[in-house]
Structure 1
Amino acid sequence: MLLPLNDTIIAVVCQLIDDSKAKLAGGDYRDPAHSDIEFCVSQAGLAALDPKQQGQQIGKAKRLRAVLHAAMIDQEEAGSRLVHSLLAKVRACGGFRSGSDNYVGEEAIANARAAFESEGFFLSGDGAVGAKVLSALKGADLTAALQAYAARAQRGSEDAALVAGTGKDLMEATAAHVLVSISNEYPEKANFKALLGMAFIALGLAVPELPEEPGEPPMKPLERALFLAACAANRLRNKEGTGHGKPWLPKVSDSEAKAAIEVAGCVSAYMLAKLQARSR
């Protein structure tokens, strides 16, 4: 499971590590120590990005911020592994336990929980982290979680292609949510194209089966194109699974998979925006 990596996540993770305020107040250093950070960075394969390897002597938060921001640019998967490793280390040191000498503080934990929540992940009070099981959500909570998945998919994040705990394609899960929100049910046995078509029509969007009308808004041809792109992207899905967590057919290249993920994010985000517009 890849954890999200963006400016907000980096900020809250660095806040969990930062002990500069305690030191300024005459307090003790807090674990994890610089040596722990070095181990985590090396294990993630990001040692070349570590300012310490370049002779810089800087604080823990600043050090991690430099590594994670550099990773976010072109080594997002490694950066995500580092975030996971750091959270595990903070948890192991007692950082989430209020009676511990290494307790990071209520505010830092609240900020981290809110940041992960906005990305469709949970961070429990004791530091456990994971993707939300969307099958347990409904209504506005499910809309928000799907929006987080869609945003990550638009950035090409492969683990956003399938939604946690359901095995469903992101667009399939979004289409089902649209139909449940509008009519309180959806046909569970419908194939992807039929399900997506029903969701598009329920939202008042154009589909290829409905011919172009004279004087129709210029967005309608684009909606038809989005529908076709969604169906094409879904056909690249490996419905049987590979056993290695790769949701794409074996012959699909990384660049093709990334394009399909971005299509899924774009189509899902558009449906969710239209759904929210109905309720205003």
Structure 2
Amino acid sequence: MSPRATVPLTSDISAALAMFFHAGAGPSHTTITTVLTGSGYGDNYVYNPNAQGTNKQQRVLTALRTAQREPTRARTLVDELLSTLRVAGLIGEEASGENVDRLKRALASSGWYLTEDGYLQPFGNVDLDTGGRPALEEQVDRLRRSTSDPALLIGTAKELLESVSKFVLEELGIPVGNKMSYDQLWHLARERLGVLPQQVDPNLPGVEAIRAIHQSTWNIADQINKLRNLQGTGHGRTLPSGVSEDLAMLVVREAATVADYMLARLDREKG
């Protein structure tokens, strides 16, 4: 997915962004005018010291709701608003608080997240062509910190593991065909890294335990894929009732551990 992909602007996201301007807080009217006009959602606001006009929160919310109906430049509007909030120190770096948490939850429910420095990114697929190893490691780290709905977490975990298997094979010079299944990718990646149970030296102390641990890397990847398939291909599908957020977080932490192990084995393989 491209870094400039269109944000699915929802009512929750609009309301969460507008809350940064509640009761006169946030960047000035002048800054808001610049953002709205520059992004194509200008409201012809004129300051009148003798009359109470539209407040900042209402202006931002109106523009965002217009962008929901006319989304051609919605991503530009959202990015520019986030820029003003970063400059004001309201998001990014060490910024925290109810407004930040509300915005993160609203974005996560639509498959998006804020990076630590306050930029918008989509959950899910890692762009190996442009991000490579750093993108994978960032995804692993973010998964460990994530809190969101179970379906989104499990889907993201599966996509991370698929990206890791492809990355391993590409780094080892093995062509990855478009028709290769998830199972094939993982078997070949594990084989090339010596992670198949039958590849463990039988003379090693604890060989059976090591083989079982290596087998667990596939068991985790396989079961995450099966669980992911129960919700279809999109966010918001219904998972089995037993899949709570706590269980989803266990799933993604296991996925992150497997991803770390495979990348460490790759490092050793490449010297």
Question: What TM-score results when the alignment is normalised by the length of structure 2?
Answer: 0.49
Structure 1 or 2, whichever has the larger Rg, is: 2
